[in-house]
Chains A and B, each alone.
Chain A
């Protein structure tokens, strides 16, 4: 697709209406979704959306307008609307939030892909899900089996009034299975891989990697076994978290508080603010020295990997936490400038229709040196937990409580009996400072999160947190069922 002439029209109209800077992002989103539920193909859809969003800058204020109407008239109206909005905001501004970008890029990017999903017949894709879902039903107590697959592809073109011309083709794929076992008043859920499935940047190779058929029977059996498993004990004890749960922990207790728009109060009324205030930069001992977390939007397989973000800034890798100390934030151009830094290209929009804003992108806990099985050594009594079931954290991202689908008691360094309903809670810096082992690169995985909510109007972001299992000492366990 090329929208060069339409883009030029949008930029010209915005300039004629008074915009001091403008950019326009054309996108063609293609989304294929298949879901099998209890032997039935419950969803089989192919959605295409084409449209554009225009940002206009006027006297320190931004306006944004979006439309699918690519006619000359539609583009003129949308560009004019963006400028009108910017002017209305500027007229009552007490503070100027925006500043026009000054760097421009002319470039192309495409997600590396081993196997184009379009080369895999639909019947084969549906067949995989039907097979995997059927294998979940190991007993009548499996009341619900689900298997799903998402294939997403986006072609985008970004043009700015200062000369950027960026074309990108990104591909993301994901799939998973779920078994719900019910017995009397108890319902137990198991999913694979992780809690959402495996979502990464790439093609059909990501679907094959998830190994749904190979794991379905085990997942069904675990869901049934949980019904008769003992309740997770309560108390202060050591905890080992599986990789996908560490990913969730990073997402909620590091990623969101490190979003600089939150720190600056831009999300105060909804997503909240952050305890990682500017005066903590380079000072706060966020975690133990084993904790190094980087944002890396260039990472192969990263769910949020791309060449440029949605305000046309080039993807980079930068530190957020280095050896336990807060070193940076997830930033846009506007917010980075306010703390004297350059953006690290963490701006995304859900679609052409949505205004770009700071999102988590790929936020990675670097692997440690401990083989996974050795994480249990030295634990007298603790719990190993896998796959998130419940997640909640306060609006400054300090007090958290998470629950997992399944746990195993650790006794004298050995993983022993299965326990159900494991939950744990704590305060963010105290928790990360209790981390005394991170598993090595052999168990490090890019865990994509396809449904991160933020912003108003609400946008669903696609983030990823690369993580390996990790060990934490003296954690409050069983908090969800205490009292």
Chain B
């Protein structure tokens, strides 16, 4: 659906809503994914959805109803249901007023029509290049090729009308070579930049290098964590940067802002306009989203807010609200770790003995307040000896404080946008001293 159609739909809902005040959010998603294993496609899907979310406000009461109907009776029924819920709800003293006007500028390049128009044949073509690369290495690949477009329009009866459109495309390849595996990924806005051959080649090389993996002792290791793994690790810090967690006492930052939590080479930001992010310039309350420096050279500086928490903390609103009302509070969108000065290769070359980690798996908090998490390595763990990769290593489990990592890490200079099961990050590889592994595996 074109942005003009989405905005017309939002206006139509505002006009037919019986509530004294109304907010409408229209989500439009069209995504497709070709999934493969053993160098053959086993799942090939396309899904299209359009959701209309209506928040009816009556004084200090609010109610939310949503539907994916576009016809007038369906929309009217949903708007009436939202108002009915609002009138049955208790008053909400924390409710912020509906947003009025505002001007927002979407970062250039967020939406690429070539991605939005890509079809099954394009995905098949990219997939075919991956298969060819895998077969050339006498390996088999599992992974996906995906293209997606999405749009959001937020409008209120107080005069707000804001829209954002974006596209995404990605490749994910796990290469399998007998007793070893390797992983590589690519995430871009423009599908024409997808390079199946290169991504598959990197994954295949990892699998080749890791053949006949050996067990190493558990304990503290110097590690070089590549972006896919580090992004996943860092994502488990995201919740700590929410003003709600800060106020609740469940964030490490609850000990106080303007205190040192990480090394002086660690700066973490949230910035929707970063060239690797190109995100939405407003939040779901219709506030302008601002770039936020969360950790500045090791010092915890800011948390992200919505209107309620900004007022409660007496700070400027950073514009990170989720759709209201919600129990989650404001959330950072994308964590960006400022790069260092050395290349990944230099970090490896300067490591006498350590481990190179491609990917983590199943990271979960063990102790939220202490930022201790556990997880496994997978798809490419290597022993580094005297600055060179000496061979593959069997997978291991770690138990490690994320703040401990940030106190003892050296970021590389190459930034990469990671997909990640939990969260999107833009991070370099990092070298970390004393990363703790607690148990091993036979593979």
Determine whether the beta carbon of A94 is less than 8 Å from that of B40: yes
Determine whether the beta carbon of A144 is less than 8 Å from that of B37: no
Is the CB of A451 closer than 8 A to any CB of chain B? Answer: no
Is the CB of A394 closer than 8 A to any CB of chain B? Answer: yes
Considering the chains assembled together, what is the distance between the CA atoms of A46 and B34 in angstroms?
Answer: 33
B407 to chain A, nearest CB (A): 16
Q: Which of B41, B67, B144 contacts A269 (CB 8 A)?
A: B144
Considering only residues 66-114 of chain A, those with a C-beta below 8 Å from chain B are: 66-69, 78, 81-82, 84-89, 91-95, 97
Is the CB of B173 closer than 8 A to any CB of chain A? Answer: yes
A186 contacts across to B, CB distance below 8 A? 369
Determine whether the beta carbon of B438 is less than 8 Å from that of A47: no
Is the CB of A194 closer than 8 A to any CB of chain B? Answer: no
Is the CB of A120 closer than 8 A to any CB of chain B? Answer: no
Is the CB of B138 closer than 8 A to any CB of chain A? Answer: no
Is the CB of B238 closer than 8 A to any CB of chain A? Answer: no
Q: Given A43-B327, A480-B366 in contact, is the A48-B374 Cβ separation under 8 Å?
A: no
A56 to chain B, nearest CB (A): 10
Is the CB of B38 closer than 8 A to any CB of chain A? Answer: yes
Q: Which of B42, B65, B144, B439 contacts A45 (CB 8 A)?
A: B65
Q: Which of A78, A84, A268, A457 contacts B120 (CB 8 A)?
A: A84
Interface of B is mostly: strand
Is the CB of B361 closer than 8 A to any CB of chain A? Answer: yes
Determine whether the beta carbon of B64 is less than 8 Å from that of A93: no
Determine whether the beta carbon of B123 is less than 8 Å from that of A42: no
Is the CB of A396 closer than 8 A to any CB of chain B? Answer: yes
Considering the chains assembled together, what is the distance between the CA atoms of A122 and B143 in angstroms?
Answer: 45
Considering only residues 162-182 of chain B, those with a C-beta below 8 Å from chain A are: 172-174, 176
Q: Which residue of A lies closest to B127 (CB)?
A: A92
Considering the chains assembled together, what is the distance between the CA atoms of A95 and B134 in angstroms?
Answer: 15
Q: Given A62-B44, A92-B131 in contact, is the A37-B327 Cβ separation under 8 Å?
A: yes
Q: Which of B34, B50, B89, B370 contacts A44 (CB 8 A)?
A: B89
Determine whether the beta carbon of A49 is less than 8 Å from that of B119: no
Determine whether the beta carbon of B90 is less than 8 Å from that of A41: yes
Is the CB of B142 closer than 8 A to any CB of chain A? Answer: yes
Q: Select the stretch in B96-104, B248-256, B274-282, B293-301 that faces chain A.
A: B248-256
Determine whether the beta carbon of B48 is less than 8 Å from that of A93: no
Hey, what's the 0/1 contact readout for B349-387 against A, CB within 8 Å counting as 1? 000000000000111111111101011101000000000
Q: Which of B34, B47, B374, B443 contacts A89 (CB 8 A)?
A: B34
A277 to chain B, nearest CB (A): 12
- Determine the interface band of chain B, counting residues with CB < 8 A from chain A: 35 or more
B43 contacts across to A, CB distance below 8 A? 62, 64, 266, 355, 357
Q: Given A35-B327, A483-B399 in contact, is the A144-B250 Cβ separation under 8 Å?
A: yes
Is the CB of B433 closer than 8 A to any CB of chain A? Answer: no
Q: Given A46-B64, A186-B369, A458-B421 in contact, is the A64-B44 Cβ separation under 8 Å?
A: yes
Is the CB of A65 closer than 8 A to any CB of chain B? Answer: yes
A182 to chain B, nearest CB (A): 4
Q: Which residue of A lies closest to B86 (CB)?
A: A44
Considering the chains assembled together, what is the distance between the CA atoms of A391 and B146 in angstroms?
Answer: 29
Q: Which of B31, B124, B361, B442 contacts A91 (CB 8 A)?
A: B124
Hey, what's the 0/1 contact readout for B80-105 against A, CB within 8 Å counting as 1? 01100100111011100000000000
Q: Which of A92, A126, A394, A403 contacts B41 (CB 8 A)?
A: A92
Q: Which residue of B lies closest to A90 (CB)?
A: B41
Considering the chains assembled together, what is the distance between the CA atoms of A43 and B64 in angstroms?
Answer: 8
Is the CB of A146 closer than 8 A to any CB of chain B? Answer: yes
Q: Which of B89, B219, B378 contacts A41 (CB 8 A)?
A: B89
Determine whether the beta carbon of A43 is less than 8 Å from that of B325: yes
Is the CB of A61 closer than 8 A to any CB of chain B? Answer: yes
Considering the chains assembled together, what is the distance between the CA atoms of A481 and B94 in angstroms?
Answer: 39
Considering the chains assembled together, what is the distance between the CA atoms of A92 and B127 in angstroms?
Answer: 9
Determine whether the beta carbon of A68 is less than 8 Å from that of B48: yes
Q: Which of A46, A88, A182 contacts B85 (CB 8 A)?
A: A46
Determine whether the beta carbon of A394 is less than 8 Å from that of B249: no
Q: Which residue of B lies closest to A45 (CB)?
A: B64
Q: Which of B248, B364, B372, B439 contacts A144 (CB 8 A)?
A: B248
The 9 A-B pairs at the shortest CB distance, nearest first, are namely A182-B249, A268-B142, A88-B120, A269-B174, A42-B327, A89-B41, A95-B40, A187-B369, A45-B64
Chain B positions within 8 Å of A, measured between CB atoms, are: 31-35, 37-51, 62-69, 78, 81-82, 85, 88-90, 92-94, 119-121, 123-124, 127-128, 131, 142-144, 146, 172-174, 176, 183, 219-220, 248-250, 254-255, 325-327, 361-370, 372, 374-376, 378, 395, 397, 399, 421, 436, 438-443
A and B contact pairs by CB, cutoff 8 A, 22 listed: A42-B326, A44-B62, A46-B81, A48-B69, A49-B67, A53-B47, A64-B44, A65-B47, A66-B45, A66-B49, A67-B48, A180-B248, A187-B249, A189-B368, A265-B142, A268-B142, A272-B361, A391-B364, A425-B438, A456-B35, A457-B47, A458-B421
Additional 12 contacts, C-beta under 8 A, given A401-B399, A483-B399: A40-B92, A44-B89, A64-B43, A68-B50, A68-B69, A94-B38, A185-B255, A187-B250, A355-B43, A394-B441, A399-B397, A423-B366
